[in-house]
Structure 1
Amino acid sequence: MNEKQFALKDVVEMKKPHPCGENRWRIIRMGMDIRIKCLGCEHSVLMPRREFIKKMRKVIELSEE
């Protein structure tokens, strides 16, 4: 199985868009849970890593680090 690669401060695309209409999210916390922030309305969501990996489609922008 191909493991998805992502890092802190990357911008990712999720399978379903946020209710505000934006589909791009920035990863702001990583650990057992991952917190992502919507780039449209600044709403943040905390979800388990396993659920995040399942719902993430692709990495759009890599972090500068």
Structure 2
Amino acid sequence: MKIVLDRARCEGHGLCEEAAPDLMHLDDDGELVIDREEITEAELAAANAAVRVCPVAALRIE
């Protein structure tokens, strides 16, 4: 499984970073950076939480 970011939709709210800080972060310019696209089963709950809290639906898991 992997986390996919639709960069065009992302507005840099940072809610996903709060939900999954081990998987993603906002850089100094407020742009979301996915630290690891490939996720393990152990990381799936955090990744799903990040997807759910995004107010512009810029994240998905494939």
Do they superpose with TM above 0.5?
Answer: no
Tell me which protein shows more helix as a share of its residues. Answer: 2
What's the TM-score once normalised by structure 1's chain length?
A: 0.30
What's the TM-score once normalised by structure 2's chain length?
A: 0.31
Tell me which protein shows more strand as a share of its residues. Answer: 1
- The higher relative CO (CA closer than 8 Å, separation ≥ 6) is in 2
Larger Rg over CA atoms? 1
